[in-house]
Amino acid sequence: MELYKETYQPLLMDVITVPSPDCYQREPGQSCEEHSTAMFTHMERALAQYAQETCAVIVEPLVQCAGYMRMYHPVYLKKLREACDRHGVHLIVDEMAVGFGRTGTLFACEQAGITPDFMGLSKGLTGGYLPMACILTRDEIYQAFYDDYQNLTAFLHSHSYTGNPLACAAGLASMSIFENEPVLENNQRKAQLMADSVAELKDHPHVAEIRQTGMIVAIEMVKNKTTREPYDWRERRGHQVYQYALKNGALLRPLGDVIYFMPPYVINEEEIRLLGKVVIEGMSVATGDES
């Protein structure tokens, strides 16, 4: 997203970007799988052209969260793993937001049946209770840095609070819940309830799409349902939904005019129904239309 980059542009590394496989952009009648497959041609072309000077490809698997909760098909990750292997380029997946059950599997990558070379984790690592993040990598890469001290190949990287014991304790507590309770199974029921709670918005004149991956549901609010023309961003329609929700017992955090739920897994059925109700009412207020 340009917003996050423009100020720091002179300091940033040169990166090659390719168009997103985001299924919101698919043609009418095209399946998400077909669209994500077709969009892979851009990645394949970029790899063929730049593999020699490319260290790694980085993706956020299945859901581009800060990028308006746009979602794509796992087939893209499968193809990406295969192409990265073929071109000798590492694959980095950013599972900060989608890791730890958010998409329905413990890690989003599992839905494509792939193993990345690096995986970044945070948020769900501690269930959100304390800040902690980590990067996992394969033994092969670990071994490249592991050597006799005299060879000076150690990977030097740390923060003041790396391995902070309190955060580690929170992480371990969260991991033990995954081990001892059927979290992913319970989430399946909750995800279905989340879908049901806003299902009626499908026919709303200002809803272009309701999309869902596991415990993320996003509603794309637009000016014109048929052409998908967005509202003028200065009208801040999403913010109006947020304000309505705040007055009615729910804290939402829309991304522009994309309203979404990404609740903690302790949410109960009644709370899910409340969220749905508040969003439906809030959207009537923000768009001036009943669903």
Ligand X SMILES: *Cc1c(COP(=O)(O)O)cnc(C)c1O
Interface with ligand X (CB under 6 A): 60, 65, 94, 96-97, 122-123, 133
Q: In a 3-state reduction of DSSP, which class is residue 212? A: strand
At 57, give phi and psi (nearest 5°): -110, 130
Angle between helices 183-198 and 165-180 (to 10 degrees): 80
Q: How far is the CB of 99 from ligand X (least distance, A)?
A: 9
At which residue do the structure tokens 């959100």 appear?
Answer: 128
Tell the smallest beta-carbon distance from residue 230 to ligand X (Å).
Answer: 23
Structure token digits, residue 153: 């190949």
Q: Which two tokens stand for residue 253?
A: 């955090």
Comparison of 67 and 113: residue with beta carbon closer to ligand X: 67
71-81 in b/e form (b: 16+ CB < 10 A) is bbbbbbbbbbb
Nearest to 83 by CA among 47, 49, 56: 47
Q: How far is the CB of 169 from ligand X (least distance, A)?
A: 18
Taking the C-alpha atoms of residue 278 and residue 245, their distance in angstroms, rounded to an integer, is 6
Nearer to ligand X, 94 or 257 (CB): 94
- Min dist CB 119 to ligand X, Å, is 12
In the chain the first and final C-alpha atoms are separated, in Å, by 32
Residue closer to ligand X (CB basis): 97 or 272:
97
CB closer to ligand X out of 131 and 205: 131
Q: Structure tokens of 38? A: 């077709």
Nearer residue to ligand X within complex by CB, 123 or 190:
123
Q: Which strands make up the sheet holding 90-94, listed edge to edge?
A: 56-59, 90-94, 118-121, 134-137
Supply the minimum distance, in Å, between the C-beta of residue 100 and ligand X: 12
Comparison of 126 and 287: residue with beta carbon closer to ligand X: 126
Integer Cα distance of 269 and 194 in angstroms: 9
CB-nearer residue toward ligand X: 111 or 240: 111
CB of 136 to ligand X, least distance (A): 14
Q: How far is the CB of 256 from ligand X (least distance, A)?
A: 17
CB 218 within 8 A of CB 259: yes
Q: How far, in Å, CA of 140 to CA of 118, rounded?
A: 11
What span, in angstroms and rounded, lies between the C-alpha atoms of 208 and 228? Answer: 6
- For residue 39, the minimal CB distance to ligand X (Å) is 20
Please identify, using beta-carbon distances, which residue of 38 and 133 lies nearer to ligand X: 133
Q: Using alpha carbons only, how large is the chain's radius of gyration in Å?
A: 21
